[in-house]
């Protein structure tokens, strides 16, 4: 094999509770912000598809775990739904949810598939959102208790825990860029939410360390930033984009402190959230065991072409413009650039800037619209997905050969799932989900991935 990976490398896929579980009668699940917003603001969702029409993992987890085993997965990342386990976020535990999660985790373990369990994947319980969600410091304590409940109920079946998936997104998409509920556009509120999420992460890690012996970490959306040119103005634009969207989170989690450059900027524009000395001490003392990294696209920026109205709503985009690079490779279904080389750059950044911490690719994938056009003899012939994964793994392999401590690769996703505001517009799975019949059929990429796992690499 030209590209060989370690014997104990984690191979698998990732999903989330809200995107995959679906609902069943009498499951006693509480409402979360996606259940609410996909109905209340249905026009924001592709073809009006709500969480009621998500995949069927809650009902078919045994069959789905067998499908994972059929592809030789040795690991699988999903999340626990806070509002399923504790319907109002703070009160009684839903015993139906306990039964489901324990049965699902036991099934994974019995099939030799290591559960990677995430506690929060964008799905705030609606009862807590009505109190302000992560804007409200009370919700930090609620999350801590939820995490402790999960550890108590399931730690005997889970060796790898993660506090949050992409903690930047609830803040940025929900409170700055109007993509996720509650559809707020206010940087200071967004900064408050992100700070409180970081504190919630720290509290959960602290609780876990006090009583349990497994691994605990976090999953982050690391988007490499590339300037248009080496012109000082473009370099400054890239520096600012990186400061706001990458370093602000990464350094708090991985270095124990916010970047020193951040506070003066936020204070200059009156955007600094409340941050206490106790907060900073907690952040400083919190470390993780394993970092998950989600990568889909690079961020390319250039210097601002026009002056901004500094009397308007503050935004990081005051300091840079997006750069559309001529000749870039595109996934036209999603409107995003395909740039596998960034996988190497991410790995080297972790190696050189963040202490070469143990990490793994927790999401990487390509979503394609109208994928049924590629069906031949009953199977999606998704050679484009095979090529996509190959290229990203090749660059990852190069970084690992140079000493990067990458422990695994999880594809997004196992079976086509509901994808937030895009619903089922773009398909990502190794298995195709027929929305009319519910039938799940393996794609060509799934069979190829099985050979990669079994051969521990590919040519």
Q: How far apart are the first and last CA of the chain?
A: 5
- The span from the CA of 339 to the CA of 143, in Å, is 36
> CA torsion sign, 419 to 84 to 291 to 263?
positive
DSSP three-state, residue 340: coil
The dihedrals phi and psi of 292, each to the nearest 5 degrees, come to -95, 140
DSSP three-state, residue 362: strand
Q: What is the DSSP letter of 312?
A: S
Tell me, yes or no, if 391 is annotated catalytic. no
- The span from the CA of 117 to the CA of 361, in Å, is 15
Could you give the C-alpha distances from 458 to 208, 385, 390, 431, in angstroms and in order? 38, 15, 8, 21
Q: What residues contact residue 457 under an 8 Å CB cut-off, 6+ apart?
A: 1, 2, 3, 4, 5
Q: What residues contact residue 128 under an 8 Å CB cut-off, 6+ apart?
A: 88, 89, 90, 136, 139, 142
- The span from the CA of 322 to the CA of 310, in Å, is 19
The two three-digit tokens of residue 239, written as one number? 């520096």
What Rg do the C-alpha atoms of the chain give, in angstroms? 21
> CA torsion sign, 397 to 403 to 406 to 412?
negative
> CA torsion sign, 362 to 367 to 372 to 373?
negative
Per the CB < 8 A criterion, the answer to whether 211 and 200 are in contact is no
Out of 21, 107, 203, 363, pick the active-site residue. 363
Tell me, yes or no, if 166 is annotated catalytic. yes
Q: What is the DSSP letter of 247?
A: I
Out of 21, 107, 135, 166, pick the active-site residue. 166
b/e map of 8-29 (b: 16 or more CB within 10 Å)?
ebbbbbbbbbbbbbbbeeeeeb
Query: How many CB atoms are located within 10 Å of the residue 112 CB?
Result: 12
Q: What residues contact residue 242 under an 8 Å CB cut-off, 6+ apart?
A: 225
Q: What is the CB-side half-sphere exposure of residue 46 using CA atoms within 13 A?
A: 12
The residues annotated with a catalytic role in the active site are: 166, 363
């Amino acid at each position: 094999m030209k590209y060989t990976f370690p014997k104990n490398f984690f191979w698998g896929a990732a999903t989330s509770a809200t995107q995959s579980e679906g609902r069943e009668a009498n499951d006693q699940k509480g409402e979360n912000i996606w259940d609410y917003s996909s109905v209340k603001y249905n026009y924001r969702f592709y073809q009006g598809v709500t969480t009621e029409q998500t995949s069927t993992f809650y009902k078919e987890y045994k069959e789905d775990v067998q499908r994972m085993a059929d592809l030789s997965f040795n690991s699988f990342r999903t999340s626990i739904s806070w509002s399923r386990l504790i319907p109002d976020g703070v009160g009684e535990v839903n015993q139906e949810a306990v039964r489901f999660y324990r049965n699902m985790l036991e099934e994974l373990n019995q099939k030799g598939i290591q559960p990677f369990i995430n506690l929060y994947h964008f799905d705030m319980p609606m009862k807590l959102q009505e109190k302000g969600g992560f804007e409200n410091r009370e919700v930090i304590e609620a999350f801590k208790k939820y995490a402790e409940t999960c550890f108590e109920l399931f730690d005997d079946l889970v060796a790898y825990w993660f506090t949050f998936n992409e903690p930047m997104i609830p803040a940025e998409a929900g409170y700055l860029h109007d993509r996720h509920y509650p559809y707020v556009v206010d940087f200071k509120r967004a900064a408050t939410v992100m700070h409180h999420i970081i504190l919630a992460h720290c509290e959960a890690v602290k609780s876990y360390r006090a009583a349990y012996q497994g691994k605990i970490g976090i999953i982050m959306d690391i988007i490499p930033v590339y300037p248009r040119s080496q012109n000082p103005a473009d370099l400054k634009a890239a520096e600012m984009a990186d400061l706001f969207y990458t370093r602000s989170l990464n350094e708090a989690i991985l270095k124990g402190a916010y970047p020193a450059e951040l506070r003066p900027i936020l204070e200059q524009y009156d955007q600094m959230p409340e941050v206490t000395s106790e907060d900073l001490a907690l952040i400083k003392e919190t470390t993780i065991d394993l970092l998950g990294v989600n990568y889909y696209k690079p961020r390319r920026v250039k210097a601002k072409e026009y002056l901004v109205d500094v009397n308007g709503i503050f935004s990081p985009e005051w300091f840079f413009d997006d750069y559309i690079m001529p000749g870039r490779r595109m996934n036209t279904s999603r409107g995003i650039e395909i740039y596998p080389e960034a996988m190497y750059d991410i790995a080297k950044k972790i190696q050189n800037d963040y202490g070469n911490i143990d990490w793994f690719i927790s999401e990487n994938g390509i979503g394609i619209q109208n994928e049924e056009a590629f069906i031949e003899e009953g199977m999606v012939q998704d050679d484009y997905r095979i090529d996509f994964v190959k290229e990203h793994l090749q660059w990852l392999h190069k970084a690992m050969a140079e000493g990067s401590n990458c422990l695994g690769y999880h594809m997004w996703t196992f079976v086509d799932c509901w994808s937030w505001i895009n619903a089922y517009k773009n398909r990502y799975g190794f298995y195709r989900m027929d929305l009319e019949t519910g039938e799940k059929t393996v794609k060509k990429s799934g069979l190829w991935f099985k050979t990669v796992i079994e051969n521990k690499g590919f040519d």
